[in-house]
Structure 1
C-alpha cells in the first residue's frame, strides 16, 4: 500500500481542506461584519450607549385678523424617571413621592414604573408650578423635557373652524389639521451617554439640538365679530330649539370670512367631553336643498337674459299650479294671484318662481346657476368642504326646471350660498372666499404661498342685473317675508328660505331648514350674513327664526367696524 493510499493521509487532507474552508468562511464573515456591515453594527453599539430624548417643538399660534390669539401653546413638561438611579428597594417610595404631587394612585404609578423601560415617562404636560414642586422633592433620578400643551384661550369661540390637537400636538381637526405642517414646527432632541446598566453618565460628547417653533397662522376671522355671531346664533337656537344651527359673516369687498360658527358649540380644551357631532364645521360640511333662497338666482336668469323685468306681472294662480303632473303650492296657504317679479321674490311665491323658471328654460337656468359657482368649490381652502350638487341638464326631468327654480333638486353648502349672494351684493362678480390670510415665519413675515394668494373674481351677472336684484331683495325686508330685519340704522336686503327636508325618502313638512341671508348697507354693501337653523321646533319660517339674528349681527358688526348708519335705499341721494 503506497503512502498516497494511506487512510491517515486521506483524513489529513480532508481535515486541511475543512480547516481552510472554515478559515475562509470566518474570514469572509469577519470581512462582512467589520467592513460591509460596519456602519450598522457601529450604529447598534452607539444606540446601546446613547439615550435620545425628544424635545417637543412649541406649536405656532393661530391668530385672528388683528393678531389676537385663537390657539396658543403653554409651557409644560414631560417628567421622566431613570430607574437605574433609584436606590434598590426604593421604587415604591419614589412612586409615593411622585403621586403626592401629581395626584392619583401611588400603586398604579408603581406598577407603571416597574413595568416600564429603564427610562420611563412619569407624566406629560405638567405645568411649570407642578414641575417645580417635583424638582423640590430632590429625587436625583427625575428629569424634565419641554412638552408644550395646546390651549384655546377663548373656549368654544370658533372651535369648529380652529379645530384641536391630540396629546402629541398634532392637528386633527379644522385649521389645526389643515395647516399642521406649518404650525407643528420641528422637534429637537437631547443625546445622553449611558453605561452598560443604562445609567446616564456625563460625557463631553453629550449633545442637544433645540426644537424649532412652529409658524403662526393668521386667519381672516375677527374675534369680536365672531363673538357677536355666536351670541346671536345661540340666542336664536335657545329660543327656537333647532337640532343644529350655523352662521357666517362675510366681508363683501374682499371675500374674507369674518366669522364662522356652528351650534351646538364645544370647548376644544376639553373636546373629548363632547359628542363628535359637535366638532363638525357645518358651514363647510352641511349639504342641503336651499329652498326659497335659490329664487334670487332664478330671478337673476330672467333679468340677465332679458326674459323679464322687475315689473313683469306673473299670475300666481291663487297659490296652486298644476304643472307636469303635479301641483305646486305656495307655502303658508298664501293665495297669491298677480304679482310682479319683484314681489314673487319678496313674497316668496313658489308658483311665481316656477313660472319664471319655465320662461327662462332649462339651459339658461343651468348656466346661470353654474355662473354663480354651484358646481365648484369656494376657494376657502379648508378640508371637508363639499362641492354643491347641480346635475347637468341632460339628467333633468320635466319637473326639474320648476323644482330648481324654487330651490329643490339641487344641493348647496352654506359657503357656496354665501359666495353666490356676495356676487349680488357687489358688482355681480363672484369672490374666491378666504379664511386664512397668511402663514408667518419665525420673524413674523408672511410666507409666499400661492394657495393663500387672493384669486381674481369671476363674473356671474352684469352690474345692472346685480343692482336690480339688490332692490328686489330690499323689498323682502320692507314688505316681504322678513320685515323683522327692518331697522332704522341700516338698510338691509336679503332672502328668506324655509326648505322642507327629506325624511325616509319623502318630504316631511314638519322638518325644515329655516334661514335668512342678508347684507347691508344697501347702497354700499359691506357685510353679508347667513344664519340657518336645522329643524327649529318653536317656529319654522326663516324670516321668523333666522331674520332677527341676521339683523342684529349686521347692526352690531357694522357699528363695530365704524360703518356710518345708512337706512336709505340705493336710489336715495346723499345730502
Structure 2
C-alpha cells in the first residue's frame, strides 16, 4: 500500500519537469526572437531596407523625344509623333482564341498569329506597333481583359518623298540609319532619362515620385539651309527631265553662290522614308553625296571664266585643236570631231576638249 503514492509522486514530478522544460524552451525561443527582432530593427535595418527597396523599386526608362528637322524657313521636314502600340498580358486572358478573332478584324493581323502570342506563358507580349487612332478606338471599344496600350514615338516625314535622300530615316529602335538621321543621330536622339517608381506583387507600376513629365527628355532639333519650295521645284523638274530623256536617274544640287549654303539636293528615283523598307539600299543611296562624277564639259565654263577674269585670254584668240587628238604623257585626249583652229568662243560653242 505504500508503493502507490510514491509512484504517483514520481509521475507528477515528471510531468512538472516536462512542462518546465517546454516552457523554458518556449521562453528561450521567445527571447531569441525578441533579440533577433531588436538586432534587425536597430542594427541591421539599413541593409534589410536596401534589400526590400531593390525588390520593389525600379528606375523606369523614359525615352527621349527625337528632335525635329526643319528647313531654313521653319517648315517641318521630320517630326516625332506619339502613337499607341498594342500589347497583352497572356496570363490575364481567359479566352485567347476569342480575343484573337476580335482583335484580328481591327488590327489587320491573322487571328492564328495573334492567338499564338496570346497563348504564351508570359506577362507581356507585343501585338502591334503604331496603331492608327481609329484602330486604337476600336480596340478600346472591345474591352478585352489583359489587352493594354503602350505609348511610343514614331518618326514621321510629313512631306513624304520630299528630300528623302537627304533626311534619311530611323529604325524601330529610333536610331538613325541613313541620311541626316544617322549623320546627326547624337544630337537628334538626345539622352534618355529615368523616373523612380516601384512595382507591386502583380507587376503593376507605381510612380512613387509622381507621374513623369508628359514630354519626357528632349533632344536637339536641326534647322537646315534647305528651302522646301526650291527643293520641291528641283525634284519636280528632275523627275520630268529623267522621264523625258529615259535616263536611269539624275541629281540636282542648288547652292547659294556667296555662302555655299545648300538650298536643294534632289535625287531621282526618289523614295518615301515613312516606308523605307519597301525600297532597297540602291534607292536609299544619296548619289549627290556618295558618288563621284567627272565634271566633264560643264567645268569648261568655270575654267574659261577664270582665264578671262585674269586677262590671260580674249574671246577672239585662236587655238589649234590638234585635229581631234592630243597626247599628254601616256594618255591621249580625244575630241568629238577633228577640229583645227578655233576661237575661244568657238571652243565653248562646240565643247572642244
TM range (shorter): 0.7 to 0.9
State the Cα distance separating 1:147 from its structure 2 match.
0.5
Which residue of 1 is the match for residue 65 of structure 2?
Answer: 58
- Structure 2 residue 251 is the aligned partner of structure 1 residue 246: yes
Distance in 1, matches of 2:225 and 2:295, equals 26
Distance in 1, matches of 2:58 and 2:100, equals 23
Which residue of 2 is the match for residue 155 of structure 1?
Answer: 160
Q: What is the Cα-based RMSD across aligned positions, in Å?
A: 3.1
Correspondence for 2:204 among 185, 200, 205: 200
Correspondence for 1:80 among 76, 83, 87: 87
Which residue of 1 is the match for residue 109 of structure 2?
Answer: 104
Which residue of 2 is the match for residue 443 of structure 1?
Answer: none
Distance in 2, matches of 1:249 and 1:262, equals 12
Correspondence for 2:212 among 206, 209, 212: 209
Q: Does structure 1 conserve the Cα–Cα contact (< 8 Å) formed by 2:234 and 2:252?
A: yes
- Structure 2 residue 320 is the aligned partner of structure 1 residue 315: yes
State the Cα distance separating 1:185 from its structure 2 match.
4.0
Cα displacement string for residues 430-473 of structure 1 (whole angstroms, at most 9, x for unaligned residues): xxxxxxxxxxxxxxxxxxxxxxxxxxxxxxxxxxxxxxxxxxxx
Correspondence for 2:272 among 252, 267, 271: 267
Distance in 2, matches of 1:175 and 1:305, equals 40
TM-score (norm 1): 0.48
- Pick the structure with greater CA Rg: 2
Distance in 2, matches of 1:188 and 1:106, equals 37
In the TM superposition, what are the counterparts of 1:264-303 in structure 2 within 5 Å? 264-296=269-301, 298-299=303-304
Aligned length in residues = 306
Cα displacement string for residues 488-516 of structure 1 (whole angstroms, at most 9, x for unaligned residues): xxxxxxxxxxxxxxxxxxxxxxxxxxxxx
Q: Does structure 1 conserve the Cα–Cα contact (< 8 Å) formed by 2:90 and 2:120?
A: no
- Structure 2 residue 77 is the aligned partner of structure 1 residue 70: yes
State the Cα distance separating 1:255 from its structure 2 match.
1.5
Q: Does structure 1 conserve the Cα–Cα contact (< 8 Å) formed by 2:227 and 2:264?
A: yes
Inter-CA distance 132–46: structure 2 relative to 1 (3 Å threshold) = farther
Cα displacement string for residues 13-38 of structure 1 (whole angstroms, at most 9, x for unaligned residues): xxxxxxxxxxxxxxxxxxxxx99xx6
Q: Which stretch of the first structure deviates more once superposed, 157-166 or 98-107?
A: 98-107
Q: Does structure 1 conserve the Cα–Cα contact (< 8 Å) formed by 2:90 and 2:121?
A: no
Q: Runs of 5+ in structure 2 lacking a partner?
A: 1-42
Q: Does structure 1 conserve the Cα–Cα contact (< 8 Å) formed by 2:321 and 2:342?
A: yes
Inter-CA distance 223–204: structure 2 relative to 1 (3 Å threshold) = closer
Flag as ranges the 4+ runs of structure 1 deviating above 6 A.
Answer: none
TM-score (norm 2): 0.75
Distance in 1, matches of 2:231 and 2:349, equals 29
In the TM superposition, what are the counterparts of 1:310-349 in structure 2 within 5 Å? 310-321=315-326, 324=329, 327-331=332-336, 333=337, 335-349=338-352
Inter-CA distance 164–322: structure 2 relative to 1 (3 Å threshold) = closer
Which residue of 2 is the match for residue 224 of structure 1?
Answer: 229
Which has the higher relative contact order, 1 or 2, with Cα contacts under 8 A spaced 6 or more apart? 2
Q: Runs of 5+ in structure 1 lacking a partner?
A: 1-33, 351-575
SS at match of 1:145: strand
State the Cα distance separating 1:300 from its structure 2 match.
6.2
Cα displacement string for residues 85-143 of structure 1 (whole angstroms, at most 9, x for unaligned residues): x15x4333333333332221222112223336312233211233322322222234333
In the TM superposition, what are the counterparts of 1:343-422 in structure 2 within 5 Å? 343-350=346-353
In the TM superposition, what are the counterparts of 1:132-151 in structure 2 within 5 Å? 132-151=137-156
Q: Does structure 2 conserve the Cα–Cα contact (< 8 Å) formed by 1:233 and 1:245?
A: yes
Q: Does structure 1 conserve the Cα–Cα contact (< 8 Å) formed by 2:198 and 2:207?
A: no
Inter-CA distance 284–159: structure 2 relative to 1 (3 Å threshold) = same
State the Cα distance separating 1:230 from its structure 2 match.
0.9
Inter-CA distance 176–324: structure 2 relative to 1 (3 Å threshold) = closer
SS at match of 1:126: coil
Distance in 2, matches of 1:117 and 1:108, equals 16
Distance in 2, matches of 1:65 and 1:132, equals 38
State the Cα distance separating 1:305 from its structure 2 match.
7.2
In the TM superposition, what are the counterparts of 1:88-99 in structure 2 within 5 Å? 89-99=94-104
Correspondence for 1:131 among 133, 136, 141: 136
Distance in 1, matches of 2:95 and 2:59, equals 26
Inter-CA distance 179–325: structure 2 relative to 1 (3 Å threshold) = closer
